[in-house]
Structure 1
Amino acid sequence: MSPSNQESSKEGIAGLAYPVKRYITGHDLNTGESIYTDAPELCTAEVPGFGIASRSYATLKLPTELADDQDLKAHLSQDSPTSYTRSTEFLVPSSELNTQTGQFELGGANVINLDIDPGAVGHMHRTVSLDISTCVMGEVYHELDSGQKVLLKAGDHIVQRATMHRWINASKTHHARVIAVLLPCAPFKVKGQYVTEEHRFGTGKPHCNSRGRALHTNRHYQEWIWQQLPVDFLEQHQPRT
């Protein structure tokens, strides 16, 4: 069986030269051979002032239930928590306490694609998860709430352990792309307090448990952030063209 998105002729996403393609493998029930399964095109969602987000794949729990294609059926459905249509939901679901057993039940995995607009600046946020985020195109700054920053070039990646961060496209003329794999983590404390999902927008005040808004910002906030960067930082890290 050929993957249904292989011959896609759609124009590039958010002005990019090509759209992201996602292929899913499976097994032929008659021969037992490995095959490519039918996979819908990525369902994209515009994040105003930042770019485009899309969910590549998600699972409800780990280990993943591959038997009888349970994971694939859930991903292809319209109403499952792991549906491919839920492009701005970045956790699936987070760790929760089972009131009957008293044990924490961890959630699943989530793979997301972020196409970041030229010069775009995301807001400071965190999810309670272990994320492996790879820059696959362009260059992006990854900034922590401590003020520390690193520049990721294509091929560089971040192992992010539930830390406050934001993404900044290092170029004001070219798009950038980051692919992130989010994995569940057990609840933990920092300075005696449980770490929770948190979002800080232009005011700097925290907005907690704001599901599906992890990258929303606006053009004015984006311009304001660039104005706040120190002169020596701008001189040393001129936006790439």
Structure 2
Amino acid sequence: MSQIPKIPRRIVTGNKNGKSVITEDAIVNNVSEHFPGLIISDIWATNQMPVDLSKELKIENTAMPETPAHGSYFRYVSIPPDKDLGISPLEKGQVHPLMHKTDTLDYIIILSGEIYLILEEEETLLKAGDIVIQRGTNHAWSNRSATYCIQLAVLLDAK
């Protein structure tokens, strides 16, 4: 198996006596591994707009989060190569076993590695620096390389 990236460090800012301060500096502890090697860290969530900066919304780490009404999720995802997940190359017309649909607007940034975004009718290769605006569509991620792909995603409640 490829080397597993580290769990991210989260720094949270706030105010104390009218001055900006660091209120938290720690390795993220809201981490799950729903499939071997597929690491998901839910970093932050909100449940209203405009956001109340004085509170943190505690979130349960799930593969398919229910984004709070009028809210958001901030998520770090480390996706191993397909072969490490036991996913064999697919024949034309086969549906990817991790195909899923969300009810959110997702802003996804590829930080490192590469990965295919698979849709029902087409796919495209994404590399570090690429950005996906995923608008509630049926999709899957296929890492056909030999190294992990790291994504950051912001999931927004959508209609």
Shorter chain as normaliser: what TM range? Answer: 0.7 to 0.9
Structure having the higher strand fraction is 2
Are 2:47 and 1:47 equivalent residues in the alignment?
Answer: no
By how many angstroms is 1:41 displaced?
2.7
> What residue is the counterpart of 1:57 in the other structure?
44
Structure number with bigger Rg: 1
Superimposed CA distance per residue, residues 183-241 of structure 1 (whole angstroms, 9 cap, x where no aligned partner): 1112xxxxxxxxxxxxxxxxxxxxxxxxxxxxxxxxxxxxxxxxxxxxxxxxxxxxxxx
User: Equivalents in 1 of 2:70, 2:34: separation in Å?
Assistant: 25
Which has the bigger relative contact order, CA under 8 A and spacing at least 6? 2
1:91–1:110 Cα contact (<8 Å) kept: no
By how many angstroms is 1:40 displaced?
4.6
Taking a change above 3 Å as real, the CA distance of residues 123 and 17 of structure 1, as seen in their structure-2 partners, is: closer
Kindly tell me the number of residue pairs found equivalent between the two proteins.
144
Q: Please, which runs of 5 or more residues in structure 2 have no aligned partner?
A: 88-96
Secondary structure of the structure 2 residue equivalent to 1:18: coil
User: Equivalents in 1 of 2:134, 2:5: separation in Å?
Assistant: 29
> What residue is the counterpart of 1:223 in the other structure?
none
Superimposed CA distance per residue, residues 76-106 of structure 1 (whole angstroms, 9 cap, x where no aligned partner): xxxxxxx3xx22152322xxxxxxxxxxxx4
1:116–1:169 Cα contact (<8 Å) kept: yes
1:141–1:168 Cα contact (<8 Å) kept: yes
Query: RMSD value over aligned CA atoms?
Result: 2.0
1:91–1:182 Cα contact (<8 Å) kept: no
By how many angstroms is 1:62 displaced?
2.0
> What residue is the counterpart of 2:8 in the other structure?
20
- Code of the residue aligned with 1:109 in structure 2: it is S
> What residue is the counterpart of 1:179 in the other structure?
152
Secondary structure of the structure 2 residue equivalent to 1:22: strand
Q: Which runs of 4+ in 1 moved over 3 A?
A: none
By how many angstroms is 1:39 displaced?
4.6
Seq. identity, %: 31
Are 2:137 and 1:163 equivalent residues in the alignment?
Answer: yes
Q: 2:102 aligns with which of 127, 149, 165?
A: 127
Q: Please, which runs of 5 or more residues in structure 1 have no aligned partner?
A: 1-13, 76-82, 94-105, 187-241
